[in-house]
A = this chain, B = another copy of it.
Amino acid sequence: VRKSKAETARTREAIVSASADLIRSRGIGGTSLAEMMAAAGLTHGGFYRHFTDKEELVSEALRAAGDKVVAIIRRNLHKGGLPAAIETYLSVSHRDAQTPICPFAALGSELGRGARKSKAVATDVLGTLLTDLARARPNRKKARQQAIATLSTLVGAMTLARIVADAGLSDEILESAKDHLLE
């Protein structure tokens, strides 16, 4: 059942897009090829018509996920400046989202031990995010250092808030990090 070139391209994008959501919600190791294909409405056998191996799909899915965070952060920065971006990122709804926004918080420790391709993509996305956050700072000299500290706090707070079994403590982590960053 061969498909047209246009349809093949659309199918590939659908697999990448569905996988971007899946890996952020279940992790890279926790998501199988069959699940990623099924999420795009396909069976697992056709996978290798689009990708050379799992690592290739994961790195492309990571790029798609990265583009989404960047877009969301940018939109928030434009609308309400740094405070808006911080409040959106550290919101309870982001913490509890079935599909988390941020791949760094969702996949952080897994990416640290991950494949080269994925790390290269993550590095690129991180660079873009830091540039955007630095632009939102008045003090040009310290802008980049502040951007790095802010992003570290955001990712760390979200990671810890998701680990914690105590709902009150989890909320407190988000609130404290938010208050600290908005001061």
Interface size class on chain A is: 35 or more
Cβ B127 vs Cβ A169 within 8 A: yes
Q: Please, which residues of chain B bring their CB within 8 A of the CB of A106?
A: 109, 112
Q: Give the docked Cα–Cα distance between A166 and B120 (Å).
A: 8
Q: Please, which residues of chain B bring their CB within 8 A of the CB of A14?
A: none
Closest B residue by C-beta to A110: B109
- The segment from A1-9, A46-54, A73-81, A140-148 found at the interface with B is A140-148
Cβ A163 vs Cβ B126 within 8 A: yes
Number of copies of chain A assembled together: 2
Q: Give the docked Cα–Cα distance between A177 and B151 (Å).
A: 10
Closest B residue by C-beta to A120: B165
Report, nearest first, the 4 A-B pairs whose CB atoms are least far apart: A156-B156, A112-B162, A149-B180, A152-B156
Given A27-B29, A122-B164, A149-B181, 5 extra CB contacts under 8 A: A109-B109, A123-B165, A148-B180, A152-B156, A156-B159
